[in-house]
Structure 1
Amino acid sequence: MTKFDAESAAVLEAVRGLIPVLRENGVAAEDNRWIGDENIALLEKAGVFRTGVPKRFGGLESSLAEQFAVAAVISQGCASTGWVAAAWMEGAWVASLYPDEVQKEIYAGGSVRISGGLTPTAMFTPADGGFLLNGSWGFNTGCRGADWNFVAGLRELPDGEVEPLYALVPMSEFTIADDWHVSAAAGTGSFTTSAENVFVPARFVAGAEALVTGTTGDRANAGVAGRNYGLITYVAAMSIAVYLGVAKGAYDTFTERLPGKPIAYTNWTDAREHPLVQLKVASAAGAIAAAEALAGGFVARLQDRADAGEHPTVEDSVTVRGQGGFALKLLKQAVEDLHEVSGASALSRHQAFQRFYRDMEGLSRHGMMTPNTNLELQGRMLLGLDPDTLYL
């Protein structure tokens, strides 16, 4: 069992106590298409937004296992809140890949919320001392409550080729479109953000290759062992924490309703007594336990690599993607099994179970996380083929 740092353990204990209120706030989060100020304030007070911040700036510098556990527990209360919290925690870690001059500004408060638009749907045009940024980013999770935005774009080189770049830009520089109208994960507030001729100083811009491989310079933590997880691999691993929490939340809210619940149009007065319900509950519990064990394995693998002062290998990254995809497949099936025997009463919007079900269905469509894509990726490697992707 992973031993947690005392401060990170305290954060985990604090968020466990928030599960009931996060569930209670779920309907309002959907109605408002945003998790709301109360959820953010509760997570802030619990110390969640300090987990990815280096200790030298007043943060907790929590390990991957610690951050994973926190994101999973938050997601047991509310999938949307967990998805937003995980995104902001990931963003806080990403800032540690930038030069110290940037880190000092980003981490000035010891707690920070950074959203991200990782698809290069913008252009960087060189300007005196930096770049002008123009473009838009859809699915920009948590943008309404973020301090900064981590965005991707392209710079055209003199030879006509393009170079992918990432920038950290104050969220106040973006406009946010009111376009998040969805049937799942509605509370994530993943609106489209846009930048029009926004000047970004050169120090806040880094090459995608350097960020992904952890080779950006001028930072005191560049050679520090323990927190170098690889950008894409880290994001993929942390995302599985949310799915795990959602499945656990669905399981809890399903089983809590069972005692004394009759099965309509039958003689069964307690659903717990029905063999099919028993089968589905056991299958879901087994799938969740298997997925959690699988995730624990690849989280430990990444931490061992980081503790050795090494960047994840291609095999490490592909394994995380593939095993993460299989874990998600198990978790999704677990929730679907429970949904099959949930009964019509579970469709009420005031029942947290139906929201966990819909959010699992929706979030599992994420382009980088969908099981089939990631299993194909790992299958290529296992068969001796090139992974055939830059997103590692």
Structure 2
Amino acid sequence: MEEVVSENVVPSSDELIKRAEELVPLIKSRASSAAQNRNLDDEVVEALAEAGMFELRRPHRYGGYETSARGLFDVLSTLSTGDGSTGWNTAVWAIGSWMAAAFPDHVQDEVFATRATRICVVLSPTAVATETDGGLRVNGRWRFMSGARHSHWQVIITMAPAPDGGQWPVAALVPMSELKVEDDWYASGFAGTGSVTTIAEDLFVPQERTLPMPAILQGRYATELNADSPVFRTPMIPTGASGFIGVAVGMGRAAMDEFLQRLPGRKITFTDYDDQSAAPVTHFQVAEAALKLDEAEFHAHRMVGALDDKGVAGEPWTLQERMHNRGMLGRLVQLVGESVNTLANASGGSSIYTSVPIQRIQRDVQAFTLHGLMHPNTNFELYGRGICGLEPNTMYI
């Protein structure tokens, strides 16, 4: 299959941020309807594609940008000020492209044959595969498949026979046309992500489109043409986190903006304060929320800085560095959650109306916090094990 080659100059990070900023009004205007419809608006997805938001982690040779970790963070945090669900799905598609770029190069030719290719992924190995002639036969289902209805491919994870006779998780690239979709996404947070369940029934996957998860997590990728790229030789979990933390910080910024926009002239009911902005309690609340958001961004910049620096230098990550990265991820998520909760609690009874965005932002942030890889306690435990000299109790580091 002929490769898709770009004739355009790769845009700078500043240009990509500008494009993202220009999309925010549209994204924000469709955020409520996306939550009600349990899926992103088609016009928003088309606008994201037109602005190149699906090229962020597409390889250069297919017209992609191979955006740095800092650039990815900046773009996704900007998009997420408009809507967390939109930012989340864009982050999912970015890590989906990155994972596809780890597969053999001729497989990438097929996956990236379409412009603005969108690849959804979830890491839970909730399927079972058996070996068959030329590949695997897969049966199973994957919940929380964000962006499935707007995706072309899915990275599925299935348990499959391992060389030692046991079982291990294997990633595989599958066209969405070969999977069934169960419309079961009725959620309190990230409602607009369309995170439905996808189902494989006696699905054949060619061997060339499979890659063991231990190999991916240990940085042993099958690609040759991407091997020297600073973006594609970084470890998977820190790489994925570099996008998702942008979503968290963007939602935190949005909460602060929404709170301050509603603040002028707001009374504090059943008190003598005719203007909430004059109340000392408000000063404490906004200061605490702002500083926690600042601290979250500090951790974010450390995380993406390490990725970019090590990617350019081609330096491997130590186990302690990976565990520390997970610790910073947990702290960032905790800080953003606390910041948004403080602002939501200070927003008064009228903020529960669905027309007031901060209630949706708070629910989206809660959904983010509950994600298995984002949950602060899970990350703190892992980092703490490292500090105490213990081995990690997960391969996802």
The TM-score bracket by the shorter chain reads over 0.9
In the alignment, is the contact (CA less than 8 A) between 1:131 and 1:201 conserved in 2? Answer: yes
Which structure 2 residues correspond to residues 226-305 of structure 1 after superposition, within 5 A? 226-305=231-310
Matches within 5 A, 1:115-154: 115-154=120-159
- Which residue identity does 2:60 align to in structure 1? K
Distance in 2 of aligned mates of 1:117 and 1:96? 16
93, 96, 107: which is aligned to 2:98?
A: 93
Match of 1:387 in 2: 392
On the 8 A contact 1:258/1:271 being kept in 2, the answer is: yes
Contact map agreement 1:8 1:60 (CA 8 A) in 2: no
The 8 Å contact of residues 237 and 324 in structure 1, kept in 2 or not, is answered as no
Q: Distance in 1 between matches of 2:250 and 2:79?
A: 7
- Asked if the contact 1:226/1:308 (under 8 Å) is kept, the reply is no
Gaps of 5+ in 1: none
Aligned amino acid, residue 118 of structure 2: R
Task: Map 1:313-332; keep pairs closer than 5 Å.
Answer: 313-332=318-337
CA distance in 1, matches of 2:316, 2:117: 25
- The residue type equivalent to 2:214 in the other structure is E
CA contact (8 A) 1:63 1:227 kept: no
CA distance in 2, matches of 1:171, 1:120: 17
- 1:157, CA displacement in angstroms? 4.5
**1:159 deviation in Å?**
6.1
User: Is 1:43 paired with 2:48?
Assistant: yes
Alpha-carbon distance between aligned partners in 1 of 2:159 and 2:224, rounded to the nearest angstrom? 24
- 1:219-249: CA deviation from partner (whole Å, max 9, x where unpaired): 2112444432211221223221111111111
Which one-letter code corresponds to 2:395 in the other structure? L
Q: CA deviation at 1:160?
A: 4.4
Structure 2 distance, partners of 1:387, 1:133, is 30
- Cα displacement string for residues 37-58 of structure 1 (whole angstroms, at most 9, x for unaligned residues): 0111111111100010111111
Aligned residue for 1:25, secondary structure, equals helix
Stretches of structure 2 lacking an aligned partner (at least 5 in a row): 1-9
The match for 2:70 among 32, 41, 65 is 65
Percent of matched pairs sharing the same residue: 37
Letter in 2 for 1:227: F
Measured in 2, the distance between the counterparts of 1:312 and 1:151 equals 26
Q: Is the 2:101–2:223 contact (alpha carbons within 8 Å) kept by the matching residues of 1?
A: no
Aligned to 2:160: 155
Are positions 1:362 and 2:387 aligned together? no
TM-score if structure 2 supplies the norm length?
A: 0.94
What is the letter of the counterpart of residue 171 of structure 1? M
1:14 aligns with 2:19: yes
1:198 aligns with 2:197: no
* Cα deviation code 1:177-234 (max 9, x no counterpart): 1111111111111111001111111111011122122213352112444432211221
What is the SS of the residue equivalent to 1:139? Answer: strand
Q: Which shows bigger deviation, 320-329 or 107-116?
A: 107-116
Once residues 143 and 308 of structure 1 are traced to their aligned partners in structure 2, the CA distance between those partners, rounded to angstroms, is 35
* CA 1:158–1:16: 2 relative to 1, 3 Å: closer
What is the rounded CA distance, in whole Å, between the counterparts of 2:29 and 2:279 in structure 1?
29
Distance in 1, matches of 2:32 and 2:229, equals 43
Deviation at 1:99, TM superposition (A): 0.9
Q: After superposition, what is the alpha-carbon deviation per residue over 1:291-348, rounded to whole angstroms, capped at 9, x for unaligned? A: 1011101211121111111343222221111011011111111011111210011111
TM-score, normalised on structure 1? Answer: 0.95
Count matched residues.
388
Cα pair distance change 1:109/1:279, threshold 3 Å? same
- Distance in 2 (CA, whole Å) between partners of 1:321 and 1:230 is 12
Distance 1:316 1:388 in 2: 16
Once residues 122 and 21 of structure 2 are traced to their aligned partners in structure 1, the CA distance between those partners, rounded to angstroms, is 29
Q: Counterpart of 2:313 in structure 1: which amino acid?
A: A
1:305 maps to a residue whose letter is K
Whole-Å Cα distance in 2 between the matches of residues 341 and 277 of structure 1?
Answer: 7
Helix, strand or coil at the partner of 1:49: coil
Mapped partners of 1:100, 1:200: distance in 2: 17
Aligned to 2:79: 74
Pick one of 303, 312, 315 that aligns with 1:310. 315
Deviation at 1:127, TM superposition (A): 2.1
Matches within 5 A, 1:155-174: 155-157=160-162, 160-174=165-179
Q: Distance in 1 between matches of 2:225 and 2:186?
A: 43
Question: How big is the shift at 1:14?
Answer: 1.2
1: CA distance, partners of 2:295 / 2:154: 35
> How big is each residue's C-alpha offset from its partner over 1:39-94, in whole Å with a ceiling of 9 and x where there is no partner?
11111111100010111111111111111111111111101111111000111111
What residue is the counterpart of 2:6 in the other structure? none
Q: Work out whether residues 333 and 369 of structure 2, in 8 Å CA contact, stay in contact via their aligned partners in 1.
A: yes
